[in-house]
Structure 1
């Protein structure tokens, strides 16, 4: 099974958060500080010990060589033979000496005499010319015109100490070669020990940082979880206040903020509930007098032809405004039910094309609406609420379509995001379209596209009620402008609406009776057997 892109992105985000977490940064900083400190201390300790070890070994070897050379040369006659020099070399390297010597006498009775105690290990040609020149250079010091000189060399990858001296003017010259391999081995062991100590220090600091991070971040994690619960709406979330440090002060601040937020939300909810009750009570109380007024206006409308021509326009205005007020009361009742969460549905198997035809026929819109629908598409929906949606969308399109026909298309689509079959109804007009700054607000309650025209023929609630009914079915309504011009409202509903209810029906008019044909935030009156009267193309769209 392959992972979905969303799940893969989630894992990548969590991985990135782990890589940038405060715990990792604390451990990294602790480890780097420990590493720098341990390497610095180890490096200083190594170089100090190295200098001390090499200096001690060097001084010891040079001292023994100088003393042995002086003792041996002091017992030689002025004209010493090569045999005497050989014996002297044997005496110098006898015992526990760790070096080999080369003795050179250029002015002996036998001519040049070179004595090498171990030619395989040390020969005269192995002495650097710079050292030989320094040894034979006489200094302006009458007490000791010739000094002992030395230098460290590397032969076949091993370190050695090479020294030389001339005891007296014209006498033999001695060179010695001492191995520094034991000291090198000791220094290598010291380096390994310091490296292991450094690694242990880094590991220990990382463990210490982990423990410290756990102690520090545990309250932060509790705070994060509490903030998440608070964001989920659990306003009674509080943190335990322990100690008197900065984290405890942060917990107290969070608790105070949460308590203040809970109180404010409680107050707002109370005010909102009171406002809803007020609207519901007001709408309910208005229904009784509105029923009586509507009955009177119906009588007046029937007698309008027999009235004085000067009075007839006033009567027509009263009838129109009464119907508008009655529609507004019904819409407010419906909005109140949506806000209170009491709106329910009565589901039934509905043929979508027949439902659209019934809706436009009931409002005498057949001549103004072009229907392109598959007559076989059915869905399980609430027919009354679907009619309300259709009446609002089609009425809105007729009002703002510039007097041209409205096209309604019905098709079936598969929603890949939800993994279900949907019914899609598109209502397109041929008007000027919706301004881009108005598009995000077309479904807002009482929104007006123009502040200079606060009053319109509708209540400004039609599209909002249509959207709420679509949400009740588990669907959605979107608004856009077509490339060729005009506005397009797209209704998308699932073939099977969620849930099944009893439907209160209180205050809710059947869209087919003409009283719920509110074209939304640009409402159409939608009276029965009266065609919709769309505004001219120059009028802005009430939303």
Structure 2
């Protein structure tokens, strides 16, 4: 029983899968089911009509014979007014001999009024009935009562064996015959063997023809659907190859019909896409090359300017105040320009696909503490308190320490810049094969949708704000690429007047896949003001994963 259940479930699952995935299967199935219902309904109606016509014809014949018998007997009985007439029996034998139906397979039964259970006359032509009681018993009792009380003709379908040849379907018609001695009952039994056989033959013929028609319709629908779905499947496979990067894939054009027009249009679209993609790739390649070349070419004059600026900055005390201030500004802008060139070179490496990891098993606790300590002077100038929450035990992870430190430096620096003189908390935790660092500030926060833009290159939440750190606008973009290179996540959350929080999550072992993060993205102190967080929106931020 369990095996049958398993097989049934498996078959049902396969049918559902085929129904959902195959247009060909759906069209053929719908055509087959609808045509089957139509053919079955038509066959049933046709067989019913033919059977009803044949049985109706037989009923008309029986009723006509019944009326002829009644019309013959009533005038004869009218002259016989005495039941003690010695010639009555001879008259009955003579009269009933004339009641023999024209159909040799039919029978008649005449019952006298005084004893409805006594069979007075039964006369089949062939074969001769030996047991007349069997023919009488073939007449239903309820039909006798109906005739007796209504004194009208009536009929009924029965299965009977009046001649010992086995039960067969009969139609029994009966009426009353009035006489001076009382009311006789006259019945005719007409067999329906031929009608039943004919109806069975009709049903069989209609069934076979309907089955052949259904199979033909299924074959035609399968053929037509194949002709239509075939090119669509080819187009789908070609589109999949195009999406996989095989831009030279095209559909074969056959004929001049609508499907050929579809294939031609699809090929034109593919050719246009290939030209546009090649053009964009060429432009992107030229842009990357231009950025890389310009960055490299600017290194040489920057080095010369840097040497001169360092000399001026070192001797600024010997200058007048205006010149000294100019030397300080020159030094600061040169630092910012050099950082921009460094970031542009790093971005160009990522764009060109040349960035590689130099992983090693390191403790993340000292890295977090080192980043915080290096940025503490900047936080002091901005009147921002830096706090760290790290485990007492080491958090060992296989990462590139230089890139992880750069990501944390960018995150903490941004938090200090946008912290609005409020505390910034850096938290480290590990668990479930992952390590996570969150950087929480309580500044202006992010508006709706800005958590999806913070990682765009050169994007700023408020361009009008005065900058304290002199960032290049590429820090978060580079941090995102560093996180992706580790197979990790870099996510952002923020809300107006509630601050922001960034979360970096990396696997403890290089190459492992992340399933969850040990730290929540939405800060616990922000949840009461945000309201309950739906289970399907655990972050209310944007996740950038590799």
**Alignment match of 1:115 (pick from 120, 125, 129):** 120
SS of 1:402's partner is coil
Measured in 2, the distance between the counterparts of 1:403 and 1:467 equals: 26
Distance 1:344 1:120, change over 3 A: closer
**Which residue in the other structure is 1:245 paired with?**
257
8 Å CA contact 1:160–1:178 kept in 2: the answer is yes
Measured in 1, the distance between the counterparts of 2:140 and 2:44 equals: 38
Q: TM-score, normalised by structure 2?
A: 0.73
Measured in 2, the distance between the counterparts of 1:124 and 1:310 equals: 133
8 Å CA contact 1:350–1:383 kept in 2: the answer is yes
1:470 paired with 2:471, answer no
Distance 1:246 1:295, change over 3 A: same
Q: CA deviation at 1:286?
A: 0.9
**Which residue in the other structure is 2:128 paired with?**
none
Consecutive unaligned residues in structure 1, runs of 5 or more: 1-10, 107-112, 136-149, 415-420, 500-543
1:272 paired with 2:281, answer no
Q: CA deviation at 1:251?
A: 1.3
1:88 paired with 2:92, answer no
The equivalences for 1:309-320 within 5 A come to 309-320=321-332
SS of 2:135's partner is coil
Residues 470-479 or 431-440, more deviating: 431-440
1:177 paired with 2:188, answer yes
8 Å CA contact 1:76–1:84 kept in 2: the answer is no
Distance 1:132 1:81, change over 3 A: farther
**Alignment match of 2:269 (pick from 247, 257, 275):** 257
The total of aligned residue pairs comes to: 463
SS of 1:393's partner is helix
Measured in 2, the distance between the counterparts of 1:97 and 1:188 equals: 19
**Which residue in the other structure is 1:110 paired with?**
none
Distance 1:449 1:78, change over 3 A: same
**Which residue in the other structure is 2:306 paired with?**
294
**Which residue in the other structure is 2:536 paired with?**
none
The equivalences for 1:75-224 within 5 A come to 78-79=79-80, 81-90=88-97, 92-93=99-100, 96-102=104-110, 115-117=120-122, 118=132, 120-122=134-136, 126-127=143-144, 151-155=154-158, 158-164=169-175, 175-183=186-194, 185-190=196-201, 192-193=203-204, 194-224=206-236
The equivalences for 1:386-425 within 5 A come to 386-414=404-432, 421-425=433-437
Q: Deviations over 1:39-58 (max 9, x none)?
A: 45424532442244224434
Q: TM-score, normalised by structure 1?
A: 0.73
Measured in 1, the distance between the counterparts of 2:395 and 2:237 equals: 48
Q: CA deviation at 1:311?
A: 2.3
**Alignment match of 2:294 (pick from 261, 282, 293):** 282
Residues 301-310 or 377-386, more deviating: 377-386
**Which residue in the other structure is 1:371 paired with?**
388
Q: Deviations over 1:220-259 (max 9, x none)?
A: 2112222222223322221111222222221111111111
SS of 1:121's partner is helix
8 Å CA contact 1:89–1:115 kept in 2: the answer is no
The equivalences for 1:330-479 within 5 A come to 330-363=342-375, 365=377, 369-374=386-391, 376-414=394-432, 421-452=433-464, 457-479=470-492
RMSD: 3.9
**Which residue in the other structure is 1:23 paired with?**
24
Distance 1:383 1:68, change over 3 A: closer
Measured in 1, the distance between the counterparts of 2:399 and 2:213 equals: 71
8 Å CA contact 1:166–1:174 kept in 2: the answer is yes
Consecutive unaligned residues in structure 2, runs of 5 or more: 1-11, 81-86, 123-131, 161-168, 513-546
Q: CA deviation at 1:407?
A: 2.4
Residues 12-21 or 32-41, more deviating: 12-21
Measured in 2, the distance between the counterparts of 1:14 and 1:327 equals: 62
Q: CA deviation at 1:268?
A: 0.8
Measured in 2, the distance between the counterparts of 1:91 and 1:274 equals: 117
SS of 1:471's partner is helix
Distance 1:68 1:476, change over 3 A: closer
Q: CA deviation at 1:322?
A: 1.5
8 Å CA contact 2:78–2:180 kept in 1: the answer is no
SS of 2:196's partner is helix
